[in-house]
Amino acid sequence: MSQQASNHALTSDQIEFFNQNGFLIIENFIPPETNSMLRERIKYVVEHQFKPNKNHAVFSTYKQDSKRDLEKYFEDSVDNISFFLEKNANIDPETGELKQDKFSCINKIGHALHEKDEVFRKFSHQPKLYEIVKTLSHFERPIILQSMVIFKQPFIGGEVIAHHDATFLYNELENDTTENPVIGCWFALEDATRENGCLWVLPGSHKWGCIKRWVRVPSETDPNVHEMKMEVTQPDLLQYTTEMNYEHDKYIPVEVKSGTLVLLHGYLLHKSFENTSSKSREAYTLHVLDQAKPFSKRQWIQPKRELVNYFETQND
């Protein structure tokens, strides 16, 4: 269901559609001038903060002895503006040096842009978005825990297999397989089409609850170190998340224009295919949890900084 943004948060029809299908599309959520500003800001952040020679862990998939460096870089990104490369980026396997323009090699920026960058902080915490998220989630105190810029680069933008966001982000819930712990906000900064790797969603799959969780566990070799492993909660549904084309005929493409907001229930299965076209598919995403409930100590994202709820401080 696609609707125009209005002065009101959401209509009853929009709320009903989200509850039944697990997603909602709101066209023209981002004004064109704001959309352009965000894209220019992304270029600024890449130009001024991405220093390939200093971010060695980004390239560590090419070095067998640097797995822990990569894991630490990923964990530290929770509190920073960090850069991650496309797996097919043109990189020298011996030195880890980029062989092409650094902007065209980046897969994503994560995971604290919504707090660490003033432009994205203001955009991410606007009152209109707060009202929409609060209405759909029923969270008592919505807070953004994670943000990403996803580039989906021309020709090399990788596929993302079907998953639901609650695999990775969740609270300490009394019934952690049915109660929705997270709302995803996906902003199209460029047109998204089948050709350049648009989202695909499986309507109604949010009603299935949790299929699997990515959990933090003590290392078997060193109790002072943790590892991440997948914990399956519904084995009969696991195939949806392990095979790219499994039951693909049940999915629908989310082809949208730039400026569109797509809202995703935490248990909705969604995916995207490789971008083999000549056009990028830039998007900005937020994941919102309820600060009124303790965040799970088993989820991967464990901020070391003191969290500030800018929804509350900016909109007082």
CATH code for the domain in which residue 155 is found: 2.60.120.620
SS3 state at 52: coil
pLDDT number for residue 137 = 95
Please provide the distance, in angstroms rounded to a whole number, between the alpha carbons at the two ends of the chain: 32
Does 76 map to a domain? yes
Exposed, middle or buried by CB within 10 Å (0-12, 13-18, 19+), for 41?
middle
DSSP 219: -
Tell me the residue range of the domain where 278 lies: 2-310
Measured in whole angstroms, how far is the alpha carbon of residue 40 from the centre of its chain?
20
Contacts of residue 125, defined as CB under 8 A and 6 or more positions apart, other chains included, come to 114, 144, 310, 311, 314, 315
Q: What is the mean pLDDT of residues 85-106?
A: 75
pLDDT number for residue 308 = 94
Does 316 map to a domain? no
108 vs 90, higher pLDDT: 108
pLDDT number for residue 65 = 41
Is the pLDDT at 178 greater than 90? The verdict is no
Is the pLDDT at 64 greater than 50? The verdict is no
Q: What is the mean pLDDT of residues 166-183?
A: 83
Q: What is the mean pLDDT of residues 11-17?
A: 97
Q: What is the mean pLDDT of residues 214-240?
A: 90
**Is the preceding peptide bond at 8 cis, omega within 30 degrees of 0?**
no
Does 315 map to a domain? no
296 vs 85, higher pLDDT: 296
The total of structural domains in the chain comes to 1
pLDDT number for residue 71 = 78
Maximum mean pLDDT: which of 5-19, 47-61, 248-262: 248-262
Output the pTM of the full model: 0.92
Is the pLDDT at 155 greater than 60? The verdict is yes
Q: What is the mean pLDDT of residues 259-264?
A: 99
Q: How confident is the model at residue 206 (pLDDT cuts 50, 70, 90)?
A: very high
Mean pLDDT check: name the lowest of 39-48, 85-94, 306-315.
85-94
Per-chain mean pLDDT for the chain: 89
Measured CA to CA, the distance from residue 305 to residue 286 in angstroms comes to: 18
276 in Cβ contact with 128 (< 8 Å): no
Nearest to 31 by CA among 261, 288, 273: 261
Contacts of residue 165, defined as CB under 8 A and 6 or more positions apart, other chains included, come to 182, 184, 264, 266, 268, 287
pLDDT number for residue 172 = 85
Q: How confident is the model at residue 231 (pLDDT cuts 50, 70, 90)?
A: very high
Measured CA to CA, the distance from residue 259 to residue 182 in angstroms comes to: 22
Encoded tokens for 108: 């994503």
Mean pLDDT check: name the lowest of 68-72, 99-103, 235-239, 285-289.
68-72
Element (H, E) at 37: helix 32-49
pLDDT number for residue 62 = 39
pLDDT number for residue 93 = 64
Does 96 map to a domain? yes
